[in-house]
Amino acid sequence: MQKEGVSPLDRLKGIPVLPILNGIGPCDPLRIAEALMEGGLGALEITLREEEAHNALCAIRKEFPGLLLGAGSLFETEQVEWAADQGLDFGVSPGWQPELWEKAQENDFIYFPGVLTPTELSGVLGSGCRTVKIFPIEPVGGLAYFRSLTAPFQKFPVHYLPTGGVGEAQVSSYLAEKGVISVGGSWITPKDVIFNEDYPAMKRLAQRAMKLLHHDL
C-alpha cells in the first residue's frame, strides 16, 4: 500500500534486506510482521507456496497498512491480479513469464520477474520491465557472477534484487553494486526461529539487517 508521495520502489531503497518468508508454520503472521517492524525493517515478502500464505498476506495488509508487503512465487496471472487487488506493494517470481509482466502492467503493479542468464535478462529488459530479481545468485557464483551478468546492460536503469543464498556477510557487497535496490534474504526469518515462534530473535535479526544499509543507487 503506497504511502502518500512515496512509491514502493523508493521505500524499498531504504530496506537493505527484504525478508522472505517461505512458510508460516505455527507462527502468527501478525507477530512476524510486528517483530520485523519493531526491528526497524518495514518490509516482508511471503511466498505463495502454501494456502495459508494468502490469509497471512491479507491479515498483515489489514493490520499493518504501512508495511511494504509483497507476494512471492507468482506463477499465474490470477495470482498477480489477486496480489494487486489485495493492495500488496509488489510481486516476485522465480522466473520470467511475459504474461505475468503484462498483467502487472495492466494493474499498475510492481513486479520482479526472476532471471539468471544474459538471454533471460535481455528478454526482460526488452519487454520494458526495469525491476528484476536475480535468482538464485549465490549457487552460480555470487557477486562475481552478478557483475558479469549485469555488465553488458549498464545503459538500462534497472532495479536489481539479488536473491538466493545471500547471507548476512554478503549483503553489503551486493548493496554497493550499481542498480541493486535491496537483497532478498530468508536468513531474517529462518525455519528454526519460525518453528519456535521466537519473535524476539526475529526482531534482533531485523535490527542487524538494518545496520547493513549504506548503499547508493
Residue 3 lies in a domain: no
What is residue 46's three-state secondary structure?
strand
Domain count, the chain: 1
Residue 107 lies in a domain: yes
* Verdict on whether the full-model pTM lies above 0.75: yes
For residue 73, what pLDDT is reported? 98
Q: What is the CATH number of the domain that holds 154?
A: 3.20.20.70
Mean of pLDDT over the chain: 95
Residue 2 lies in a domain: no
Residue 113 lies in a domain: yes
* Rounded percentage of the chain residues whose pLDDT exceeds 90: 92
Residue 59 lies in a domain: yes
The grid coordinates of residue 196 equal 519456535
DSSP-assigned letter for residue 27: S
Q: What is the DSSP string of 119-145?
A: HHHHHHHHTT--EEEETTTGGGTHHHH
Q: Is the pLDDT of residue 88 over 70?
A: yes
27-49: average pLDDT: 97
Residue 1 lies in a domain: no
For residue 1, what pLDDT is reported? 61
What is residue 97's three-state secondary structure?
coil
Domain housing 61: 8-209
The pLDDT tens digits of the residues spanning 172-214 come to 999 999 999 999 999 999 999 999 999 999 999 999 999 998 6
Q: Is the pLDDT of residue 32 over 90?
A: yes
Residue 177 lies in a domain: yes
- Catalytic residue positions, numbered: 45, 133
For residue 217, what pLDDT is reported? 43
Residue 193 lies in a domain: yes
User: Which residue has better confidence, 59 or 3?
Assistant: 59
